[in-house]
Structure 1
Amino acid sequence: MAETLSDWDLRRLVTVIEDGRRDDPNRAMPWAVLDGLLDLIHCDAVGFTEFDVPHKVFLTEQFLEGHERSLALDNDQETDHPYWRFHHDFLPCSYAERTGDLRRIVLHSDFYSPAELHNTPFFAEVWGGHGPTHRMVATLPAAPGRTRRILLDRDSGPDFSERDRLVVQLLRPHLYEVYLDAQRRLNGVPRLSDRELQVLQLAAQGRSNADIARELFISVSTVRKHMEHIFDRTGARSRAAAAALVVPHLNVGNLG
């Protein structure tokens, strides 16, 4: 039987999204989102992380445990950290990288029993034998070579349920939009329409107006009009300047 959500669950989903959009932006996920997730899904900790895998840099590590908040940004390169040695062989950690599937909400128990989990090198070397017994992972789109995740941890008790997984699955694309909106507000990035963003992203790749028109099934004159609006809203005088202002904050991938 397919899992369903209660009216309370659905109302809380909307509240998490709305609170996140109203919260003061920071360089990670708005804290209201983590507060809302902790209220919506029973867990000991909820976090948001972003790693630069090729360069072995922990860019963002944001966690909420009870009422305790922690946020570490732009940590120095730690090439000898055990995470980089063991993360690829730890199946729930590397699932999205290995498969390209960003949509699936992954549980530790999808891959390991509790005994198997505690016997993995990752559990012993990265977490020092004291990691969460249960973890749920939602992967968000990120720039190439980066991983961006929402993490929910339980140190003991029952595993996350299919109801919990469904909640995070439904929230996932909206949390990504909340994150992007927070970064735009934080960095003063002008708000463009979806079509204008598509045009600017293609222009940032060096596409001509004719190329963009073919890609988006619109006329060349429509592309020119979109570019005029983009220049007006960004104050930029060239495609390169507009792209430098807007595109780095998007990191748009396939939400699915």
Structure 2
Amino acid sequence: MSRHSITESHLRAMLDVIDEARHDTTGEGPPLSLLQGLGRLVPCDLAEFCEVDLPTRRVLASQAVEYGGSYPEPDDEPWWRWKHQHPHCVDVERSHGHLGVAQLSDYMGVREFRNLALYSEYMRPFLTMVVVPLPTAPGRIRMYNLSRERAKPFTDRDLLTLQLLRPHLIDVYHTAARRRREPVRLTPRQLDILRAVANGLSTEAIARQFVISPSTVRKHLENTFHKLGVSSRIEALARVFPEPEPYGP
């Protein structure tokens, strides 16, 4: 892949997209203008951003811009049933988003993909797609996805464009996240226990560390969940430590 495939005018267009996104403070997630800009830079039929918490099956963010026509709202149940057939999602989940840009043809041919239940029950009519993963906490998927109905792969320039933009996409995401995050007021002990959870300690191990009973640990966590408006340890960690240190970008 040659850097000479990026012309000066295309590079200026890339910078304009990022600059527009940095000044766009509308919405709760990454600005929709960024998704629209990606669709202009890399021709596609559908441009999407999604963030999913896998243990709770919660869709934390979902955006889509249609270029190829009007597509029906997808049924998420087939995705949960067949997501193990989606090579991008599998790799993004395993790596916590620490991957480069990749397209479907890096994993399998069009004929093989057509034969998957994932395609017939969920992805159809899109035969070609490219994924830009963003780093996230364990148990989550966060990525941009551009899809085409036609089987022709994305070009080297398309892939290089997205790879060069990826650090900026990560930065824009974090800027938007900081902007919308409300202050979290936890007690020092609640924060200490959450840090222990982030380090992978069990309830019993946390109790030994702080010389308290396991039931007291659970009570602290219960009170923490209530304050944060969450129902699980993963959600609490994502709320207080959006990018746990070992998995940060």
Partner of 1:163: 157
**Contact in 1 for aligned 2:93/2:139 (Cα 8 Å):** no
CA distance in 2 between counterparts of 1:91 and 1:67 reads 24
Per the alignment, residue 176 of structure 2 pairs with 182
CA distance in 1, matches of 2:120, 2:113: 9
Equivalence for 2:137:
143
CA offsets 1:117-138 (integer angstroms, 9 cap, x no match): 11112112223xx231111001
Q: Residues 249 and 21 from structure 1, CA distance in 2 versus in 1: closer, same or farther, beyond 3 angstroms?
A: farther
Q: For 1:215-240, what per-residue CA distance to the aligned partner results, in whole angstroms no more than 9, with x for missing partners? A: xxxxxxxxxxxxxxxxxxxxxxxxxx
Q: Distance in 1 between matches of 2:25 and 2:48?
A: 17
Q: Structure 1 residues 118 and 45, CA, compared in 2 at 3 Å: closer, same or farther?
A: same
Q: Does 1:60 align with 2:50?
A: no
Query: 2:79 corresponds to which residue?
Result: 83
One-letter code aligned to 1:97: E
Structure-2 separation of matches of 1:69 and 1:22: 29
Q: Distance in 2 between matches of 1:183 and 1:100?
A: 18
**What percentage of residue pairs aligned between the two structures are identical?**
31
Aligned partners of 1:68, 1:184: CA distance in 2, in Å?
Answer: 34
**What is the CA deviation profile of residues 10-52 of structure 1, one whole-angstrom value per residue up to 9, with x for unaligned ones?**
2122111111111123222201101211111111111100111
- Counting only pairs closer than 5 Å after superposition, residues 1-256 of structure 1 correspond to structure 2 as 2-4=2-4, 5-66=6-67, 81-99=77-95, 102-127=98-123, 130-156=124-150, 158-187=152-181, 205=195, 248=240, 250-251=242-243, 253-255=247-249
More helix by share: 2
Q: TM-score, normalised by structure 1?
A: 0.67
Distance in 2 between residues matched to 1:101 and 1:187, nearest whole Å: 21
In structure 2, stretches of 5+ residues that fail to align are: 184-190, 197-227, 229-235
Q: Contact between 1:51 and 1:60, CA under 8 Å: does it hold in 2?
A: yes
C-alpha displacement of 1:69: 10
Q: How many residues align?
A: 201
Q: Distance in 1 between matches of 2:68 and 2:105?
A: 27
Q: 1:100 to 1:35 in 2, by over 3 A?
A: closer
